[in-house]
Each structure stands twice: as structure tokens, then as C-alpha cells.
Amino acid sequence: MQATYHKYILNFKRPSGTSRGVLKTKETWFIIITKNDKHGIGECGILRTLSIDDRSDYEEKLKWVCSNINLGLEKLLNEVYNFPSIQFGLEQAFLSLQSTSPFELFPSEFTKGEKSIPINGLVWMGTKEFMKIQIKEKISSGFTCIKMKIGAIDFDTELELLTSIREEFSSKDIELRVDANGAFTPKEALEKLKRLSALEIHSIEQPIKQGQFEEMALLCEQTPLPIALDEELIGVFSKTKKEEILQIIQPQFIILKPSLIGGFKGSTEWIENATKHNISWWITSALESNVGLNAIAQFTYTLQNKMPQGLGTGGLYTNNFEAPLEIIRGNLHYNNLKKWNFNLS
């Protein structure tokens, strides 16, 4: 068994605004395992400035993993416990190697094209006009759940945009989620949540920056609308610490990004702890290429969570890999008539 790693730069079709600035490109890495005439492919989706494994020795660790691939999956996962994106890439690559098809990691009704996954439509940060255009596009293309990133422009303007949706569509017609990416201060957060709750918002992701456990716990206790932890889950490796955070904060939801929290294994541990504490969850991609998105979608389907998931990022890039994934009226489908074209050149 041999392994190699490859860097790949994804180019955004249009610059995408986040609370950490505007993204034009996205760096990702692939692990490819070869055994006899079979190949296993896994994506290590790193997000610079957000991933806990955004480190200067990242490539060195990938090189070490490939040189020691014969240690097997379990030992390798333990060796890279603090590199969650590499853990995820390894899980994919080994599943891919064992599969009859390199991109069918979890065979199901989803991969047969018989069932789909409901997803939210993502509205990126930008000017009021740009965000309004995106909202109209999502609604007209059939989405019944919209997630809007907030915190980049004036809060009153963001409220205006959300109000304009509510004036036309009730909460029964359109589910609205907002993602603050930690943009609010603890002092102002509760007041802003009260103003948002008047618009029947489904939930808000990470209203204040991660690491402020007492402040977040108080906010979750007093909040007029459900709070979902997102960045709060990054960099938490032990099962004990995961349970401790959920016990202290007691959020209404947690959001799982496999590339950022240790892949399928890390996600499963969070879900088990959340279930124990009656905390709901959903899964979101983290700007991976279609390779990583495909793996996350297949895994997500097996969990049978009926809520809209955050898996609508496949169409962001000019140089993404052709894949059977397609979005039809707010649902992610696996169209077996479309073939994979995985080409790193």
C-alpha cells in the first residue's frame, strides 16, 4: 500500500464574503492511497484562520502520514488527533479504497438516486443589494430553508433584509437561519437576539465568539430564539471535553463540520453527547470540493436527520470536480447518470 498527497486550489466563481473577509480561492489537499490496481481518495479540507490545524507543519504531517500509511487507519487517526482535516481525509481514503466505487463510501438509497437530502440555501455576506439578489434567487429556485450570514454590514440593514422576507413569506413557508460567526459582543447579544426573534428566526449560529463558556451558557439560558454552537466545537478533541462543553453551555443545537472536528468519528462523538443531553444537530460542509462534500452528504444521509442540512456549497467554484451531486428545489440529489471527473492537473 502506498500513498501520496496533492495540493489543489479551488477558485470561487465570485468572491464570497464571510466574517473573516472575502474569499477568492480555497486551498485543499487530497490523500490518494494505492493498493494493487485500486485507489482510495480523501479530501483534507482546511480553512485558513479557522481550522485548528492551520499550522506551519501541515504539509509535513501529510508527508508523514503518506510515508506511514501501512500503520492502518486507527493508528494513523491517533497519530493525527490534533489534525482533524487530515483525520477526515484518511477516513475517506480508506473507505474509498475498500469500496467497489472510489466515490461511494456509504451505499444507500441516496447514492442509488432514490432519495435526497433537504438542504438550506446559503446567502453570503455583501452589500444589501447583493444579499437581496441571493435571497430572491434561493426562494425562486425552490429553497424553503435559507441561511443568511450576518455581522458584516450594519445590523439594522440585515434586519431589514430579513424583515423583507418575512413580509412575503411566513415561517411556515420559509425557515430562516442566521449565522453570526461570533460577530456580537456578550453585552449586546441578548438585545440583538430579541430583535431577531420577532422575525421568527429558526436559530442563530455562534452569536458570540467561541471560548466564552459562561457568557454563552447565560445567553443560551436567556435567549428568545434557539442558539446553535458552531466554531465552539473546533479544537475540542477528547470525549470528556465535548461532554463538558455541552453540559456547561446547554445549547439548543450544535452544527457539525466534519473537516473541522475530526471527520466521521469526531462528528459521531459529538452527536452521541448531544443526544444524551437532548440537544439537536445538523451537518454542514466547510467549503470542500465535491469530493469532501460527497463524503459528508453520504455520511449525513445514513444518520436520517430530517432537518435541512448545510450541504449546498458544490456550485461555488469554477474548477470543482464534475460529480453526480445536484441541487433540485432545495434538495441534494445523487444523479447516477452524471459521472465523476476527478482530475488534479
Report the C-alpha gap between 75 and 66 in whole angstroms: 13
Q: Compute the distance between CA of residue 2 and CA of residue 67 in angstroms, rounded to an integer.
A: 8
Q: Which of 229, 239, 177, 234 is nearest to 208 (CA)?
A: 229
CA distance 40 to 33: 5
Question: 445523487: which residue's cell?
Answer: 334
Secondary structure (3-state) at 309: strand
The active-site residue, picked from 257, 276, 306, 338, is 257
For the beta carbon of residue 103, count every other beta carbon within 10 angstroms: 22
Catalytic residue, candidates 61, 138, 149, 192: 149
Tell me 324's DSSP state: S
Distances (CA, A) of 206 to 69, 85, 178, 237, 337: 37, 21, 9, 19, 39
Note whether 260 and 52 are within 8 A (CB): yes
Distance CA 60, CA 309 (A): 34
- Give me the sign of the Cα torsion angle 136, 141, 146, 147: negative
CA distance 91 to 77: 8
3-state DSSP assignment of residue 299: helix
Surface-to-core class of residue 192, CB atoms within 10 Å of its CB (0-12 exposed, 13-18 middle, 19+ buried): buried
128 a catalytic residue = no
Q: Cell triple for residue 169?
A: 413569506
Residues 6+ positions from 226 with CB-CB distance below 8 Å: 202, 203, 204, 252, 253
Query: What are the Cα distances from residue 19, in Å, to 49, 125, 153, 192, 227?
Result: 11, 8, 10, 17, 18
Does the active-site annotation cover 38? no
Give the catalytic positions in this structure: 149, 257
